[in-house]
């Protein structure tokens, strides 16, 4: 066999914002410890779990509790508490702004794919989706509504709540202080960390996808596995 | 099993401004054997007949762009794709593939309307169950690929690119 020089391996890695990227390199893939994950989770520990445990991750990771915070859901005329679905539904959360054209659509798409799967496979009532904007100045109720329509979100099935902190200050409290998703910027341009949380019905994180959207299908696979094992 | 060997941005501020690529793991599925083809549903639209297409088609070079109808960058890529398509011969399989879930909020008709609006004139297909996207480890849109006649990925690019680049990558794959 003639080895073909791979020309596709241009790794497009995250461009560091100044020197702020920690760039925690998990080269070489550490094996998972033999003792599985913490109690209360049903998914296997993430592949790099042993290493992740050693890092003081700013966001809730596998096996940790879903932080509780109450944020208005402008398309529902009420506030939603992140933990209100505990005991009732699994939840997925992410943190975006609607004018973002890079990573955010990928994050929302991952949630949207699970939502679409939940509808076609009949488990829409088992899940709740809670994307949160950190740019409330731009992301008014109307902007959020248009965004949901553009992204193909199903708003009829009643499992999608787009959350909007009232002010930029409140957005800092909710997104950065509570969930550990750092962001900085304004005027339609932000640098921000990327996170999706898949949380089980007991309010424990089953997966924290960081460093960019998960690969196509990964979140849906994990959501189905969670559903099956619950 | 494929190993994820890269975890980036733990606790970091990821720069995700205009055009900056997002983090993802690029692990080629090339092991010299090429990508196993997938049967996709082609959508009835200008330049595209309803039916089944085999992607990537063994025996000729394939250019593929994954897109979504909500994606503004994908929209802005359409003139570039049109120009590249115009100069690609019939011996190149040239197609766009949406990997949105179709049928509920976004229908095939929506894709057809989007295609018409953005003046697509080549094959457009759907990868609603992500079979192809998974096989290619494609974590976002737009995402362009060139495969040689043995289905080996010779080029992959996430984000905006130009007709000129696509043309030369197709040419390179033709060898």
- pLDDT (tens digit per residue) in A3-19: 443 333 323 223 323 33
What is the residue extent of each domain of chain A? 49-229
Mutate to test the interface with A, among B2, B5, B23, B71 (most CBs of A within 10 A): B23
* Tokens read off for B85: 């398509």
Residue whose token pair is 């309010």: A203
The whole-angstrom separation of Cα A179 and Cα A201 is 18
- pLDDT (tens digit per residue) in B97-127: 999 999 888 999 999 999 999 999 999 999 9
- pLDDT (tens digit per residue) in B55-77: 999 999 999 999 999 998 999 99
Count, in order, helices (H) and strands (E) of chain A: 5, 8
Q: B155 at the A interface (CB within 8 A)?
A: yes
Task: Give which of A187, A166, A211 is closest to B12, Cα–Cα.
Answer: A211
List the single residue in A15, A119, A152 with the smallest CB-CB distance to B20.
Answer: A15
Task: Give which of B128, B153, B164 is closest to B27, Cα–Cα.
Answer: B153
Q: B17 at the A interface (CB within 8 A)?
A: yes
Residue B26: phi and psi, rounded to 5, are -100, 105
Structural domains of chain B, count: 1
Task: Give which of B105, B93, B25, B4 is closest to B53, Cα–Cα.
Answer: B93
Angle at A20 between CA A18 and CA A21, to 5 degrees: 105
In a domain, B139, yes or no: yes
Containing domain of residue B120, as a range? 38-174
Q: B168 at the A interface (CB within 8 A)?
A: no
In a domain, B16, yes or no: no
The whole-angstrom separation of Cα B94 and Cα B123 is 7
Q: Mean pLDDT throughout B90-97? A: 96
Angle at A136 between CA A177 and CA A152, to 5 degrees: 105
Q: State how beta strands B38-42 and A205-210 pair.
A: unpaired
Task: Give which of A94, A99, A103, A109 is closest to A199, Cα–Cα.
Answer: A94
CATH class held by domain A49-229: alpha beta
């Amino acid at each position: 066999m003639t080895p073909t020089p791979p020309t596709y391996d241009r790794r497009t890695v995250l461009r560091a914002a100044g020197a702020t990227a920690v760039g925690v390199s998990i080269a070489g893939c550490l094996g998972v410890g033999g003792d599985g994950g913490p109690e209360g989770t049903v998914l296997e520990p993430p592949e790099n779990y042993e290493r992740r445990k050693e890092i003081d991750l700013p966001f809730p990771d596998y096996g940790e509790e879903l932080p509780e915070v109450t944020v208005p859901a402008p398309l529902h005329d009420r506030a939603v508490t992140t933990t209100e679905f505990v005991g009732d539904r699994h939840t997925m959360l992410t943190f975006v702004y609607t004018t973002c054209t890079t990573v955010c659509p990928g994050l929302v798409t991952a949630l949207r794919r699970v939502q679409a799967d939940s509808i076609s496979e009949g488990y829409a009532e088992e899940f709740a989706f809670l994307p949160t904007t950190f740019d409330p100045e731009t992301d008014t109720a109307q902007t959020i509504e248009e965004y949901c329509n553009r992204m193909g979100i199903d708003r009829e099935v009643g499992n999608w709540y787009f959350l909007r902190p009232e002010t930029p200050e409140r957005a800092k409290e909710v997104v950065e202080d509570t969930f550990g998703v750092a962001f900085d910027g304004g005027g339609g341009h932000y640098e921000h960390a990327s996170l999706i949380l898949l949380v089980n019905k007991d309010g424990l994180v089953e997966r924290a996808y960081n460093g960019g959207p998960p690969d196509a299908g990964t979140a849906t696979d994990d959501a189905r596995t969670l559903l099956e094992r619950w | 099993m494929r190993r994820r060997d890269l975890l980036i941005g733990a606790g970091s501020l990821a720069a995700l401004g205009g055009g900056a690529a997002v983090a993802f793991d690029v692990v080629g599925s090339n092991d010299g054997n090429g990508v196993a083809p997938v049967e996709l549903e082609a959508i009835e639209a200008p330049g595209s007949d309803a039916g089944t297409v085999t992607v990537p088609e063994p025996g000729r070079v394939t250019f593929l762009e994954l897109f979504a109808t909500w994606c503004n960058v994908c929209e802005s890529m359409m003139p570039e794709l049109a120009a590249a398509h115009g100069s690609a011969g019939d011996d190149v399989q040239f197609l766009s593939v949406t990997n949105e879930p179709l049928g509920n909020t976004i229908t095939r008709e929506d894709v057809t309307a989007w295609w018409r609006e953005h003046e697509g004139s080549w094959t457009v297909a759907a990868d609603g169950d992500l079979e192809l996207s998974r096989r290619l480890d494609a974590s976002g849109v737009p995402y362009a690929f060139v495969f040689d006649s043995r289905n080996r990925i010779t080029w992959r690019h996430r984000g905006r690119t130009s007709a000129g680049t696509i043309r030369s990558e197709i040419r390179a794959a033709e060898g």
